[in-house]
């Protein structure tokens, strides 16, 4: 199982219009692209992947949304489709435990720290100035990425409470969803090598 967490500092925590994902929905477009990059292959889904979104925007933060590649249905590879599943999840009243809103999509109340403590795993924190990903091998990895704002000092402090590594996918600052594609590519190549 490969797991990804993406933090949406402005992403709204109540149902939103699908017509303004970057604006009124608080850069929900970034999170939707990350869901797609995390889960989609061409004409298939990555079944061994889970992606968690941390929504920290108004009016009722924080909330966590989980997409499970093995269970998810009714998701197509466009931003609006992922957004519509996130919106449906936000229509549920979030509890302290996971509640499924649609197959493979669940929501709960909670912040980044709650999620890290629930998963309780070594963290691979993706950051521009980290160690080069080339040659690294990951077992059941948990990756953390930021949105357009990166991670706050407080969020970095939370990561430091766990075993962690800071890893870079290259010398330039990229969009989070592009980083996810590169990370998958590294792991895909390693898995293919193991097979031969």
Ligand X SMILES: C[S@@+](CC[C@H](N)C(=O)[O-])C[C@H]1O[C@@H](n2cnc3c(N)ncnc32)[C@H](O)[C@@H]1O
Footprint of ligand X on this chain (CB under 6 A)? 126-128, 130, 145-146, 148-151, 168-170, 172-176, 179
Taking the complex as a whole, the smallest distance from the CB of residue 179 to ligand X amounts, in Å, to 5
The distance of closest approach from Cβ of residue 147 to ligand X in the complex, given in angstroms and rounded to an integer, is 6
Give 51 or 107: the residue with its C-beta nearer to ligand X. Answer: 51
β partners of residue 5: 52, 144
User: Which CB atom, from 37 or from 86, has the smaller least distance to ligand X?
Assistant: 37
Nearest to 8 by CA among 81, 68, 64: 64
Nearer to ligand X, 17 or 185 (CB): 185
DSSP tag of 147: B
CB-nearer residue toward ligand X: 8 or 104: 8
Minimum distance from residue 13 beta carbon to ligand X (Å): 20
**What are the structure tokens assigned to 169, written together?**
């996918």
DSSP H/E element including 2: strand 2-8
Q: Are 86 and 107 in contact (CB under 8 A)?
A: no
Spatial separation of the C-alpha atoms in residues 173 and 142, rounded to whole Å: 20
Beta strand pairing call for 2-8 and 142-145: parallel
Using CB positions, name the residue nearest to ligand X. 150
Pick between residue 72 and residue 126 the one whose CB is nearest to ligand X: 126
Q: Torsion angle, CA of 11/12/17/19, rounded to 10 degrees?
A: -20
Closest distance of CB 143 from ligand X, Å: 9
Shortest CB 164 distance to ligand X, Å: 13
Q: How is residue 108 written in tokens?
A: 């709960």
């Amino acid at each position: 199982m490969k797991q990804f967490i993406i933090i949406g500092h402005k992403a709204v925590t109540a149902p939103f219009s699908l017509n303004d994902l970057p604006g009124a929905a608080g850069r929900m477009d970034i999170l939707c692209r990350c869901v797609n990059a995390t889960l989609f292959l061409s004409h298939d889904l990555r079944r061994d992947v889970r992606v968690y979104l941390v929504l920290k925007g108004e009016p009722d933060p924080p909330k966590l949304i989980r997409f499970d590649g093995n269970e998810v249905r009714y998701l197509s590879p466009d931003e609006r489709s992922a957004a519509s599943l996130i919106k449906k999840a936000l229509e549920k009243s979030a509890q302290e435990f996971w509640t499924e809103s649609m197959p493979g999509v669940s929501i709960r109340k909670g912040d980044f720290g709650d999620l890290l403590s629930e998963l309780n795993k070594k963290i691979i924190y993706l950051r521009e100035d980290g160690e080069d990903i080339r040659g690294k091998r990951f077992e059941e990895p948990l990756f953390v990425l930021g949105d357009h704002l990166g991670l706050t000092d407080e969020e970095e402090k939370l990561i430091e409470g766990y075993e962690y590594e800071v890893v870079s996918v290259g010398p330039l600052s990229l969009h989070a969803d592009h980083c996810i594609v590169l990370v998958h590519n590294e792991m895909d190549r390693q898995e293919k090598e193991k097979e031969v």
